[in-house]
Amino acid sequence: MSGKKYVCNGAKIECPLCTKPIGKLKVTSNSIKLQDKTWANIKDKGKVNLKFSGKCIKSPKQKIPCKAVIAPIKWINTGEILIQGDKALLECSTIKCSYGGATIKIKDHIQKSEPDTIEATDIDGIAPDSAISQSLVSSKLVI
């Protein structure tokens, strides 16, 4: 699973059976942060975690909100890194909903590849002349 991005709080998720298919992942399993956002793991799988505002197409007359009937089973394609004892979610992780039978996937992990700006700072009395070039910064997460 190398080269895959880890998933953070607020990541966009997608359910093909929701009338508003894009939702958000809310991390409640831990307080470990990645890029100032809580890091998602396999315990983030309940109704409180998978937030959709639409209605389930599989519900009677398509009238029941997804948040009322969503029934996630188990995350698969997870990372090997443990976050407070549980496997981290990756951008390729998916979870099946037992109510509608759809596979919910990560649409956007929201992890940044590069910092927006790197400001020049004084180090031990040495003042830099300009900001550091972004081309010198690695875009890979190293743990």
Q: Which residues contact 52 (CB under 8 A, 6 or more apart)?
A: 13, 15, 18, 20, 21, 23, 65, 66, 67, 70
Q: In this structure, is residue 122 part of a structural domain?
A: no
Q: In this structure, is residue 127 part of a structural domain?
A: no
pLDDT at 29: 95
pLDDT at 4: 87
pLDDT at 120: 64
Q: In this structure, is residue 134 part of a structural domain?
A: no
Query: Which residue segment(s) compose the domain that 5 sits in?
Result: 1-114
pLDDT at 135: 47
pLDDT at 137: 46
Q: In this structure, is residue 17 part of a structural domain?
A: yes
Label the pairing between strands 72-76 and 103-108. Answer: unpaired
Q: How many domains does the chain have?
A: 1
Q: In this structure, is residue 132 part of a structural domain?
A: no
Q: In this structure, is residue 120 part of a structural domain?
A: no
pTM of the model: 0.76
Q: In this structure, is residue 138 part of a structural domain?
A: no
pLDDT at 128: 57
What is the pLDDT tens value at each position of the chain, 143 positions in all? 446 899 999 999 999 999 999 999 999 999 999 888 999 999 999 999 999 999 999 999 889 999 999 999 999 999 999 999 999 999 999 999 999 999 999 999 998 776 566 666 666 666 555 555 454 444 455 45
Q: In this structure, is residue 98 part of a structural domain?
A: yes
Taking the C-alpha atoms of residue 52 and residue 19, their distance in angstroms, rounded to an integer, is 9
